[in-house]
Amino acid sequence: MRPWDIYTWNFPDAGPHPAVILGTDERIKHKPSLNVLLCSSRRATRPAELYEVILDAADGLDWAALCKCDLLYAVPVHQLSQKRGTVGIERRLEIAARVIRALGIAGR
């Protein structure tokens, strides 16, 4: 398991969906819970909103899916299953920028 990998997690009130792992290699190796972002499990049929990024086959998913960057979930590592792929470099930057904006990390 590494940062930016995409696994499946059974999200509360949403069910099994792709989950993008955020964090550092050190955190992932040594902590029992990880931060993840929810991605849609259905094909994206609209453009991404300001707080979303579209991931697709280049990231290991079966089709275009919306990755929601406005809410982090703390997930017990043992609950993550079925590696689906890894977010590509360009989309990592998009996700990071949207997380910062959506969560007001930069003070805005």
Give per-residue pLDDT as tens, 57-88. Answer: 999 999 999 999 999 999 999 999 999 999 99
**The pLDDT of residue 97:** 96
Query: How does residue 23 score in pLDDT terms, banded at 50, 70 and 90?
Result: very high
CA angle 86, 88, 91 (to 5 degrees): 120
Position 108 scores a pLDDT of: 59
Look up the pTM and report it: 0.94
What are the domain boundaries of the chain? Answer: 5-102
What CATH fold (topology level) applies to the domain 5-102? SH3 type barrels. (2.30.30)
Tokens linked to 82 = 């079925």
pLDDT mean over 94-108: 89
pLDDT tens sequence across 24-46: 999 999 999 999 999 998 889 99
Chain-centroid distance, C-alpha 51: 12
Give the pLDDT confidence score for residue 6 in this predicted structure. Answer: 98
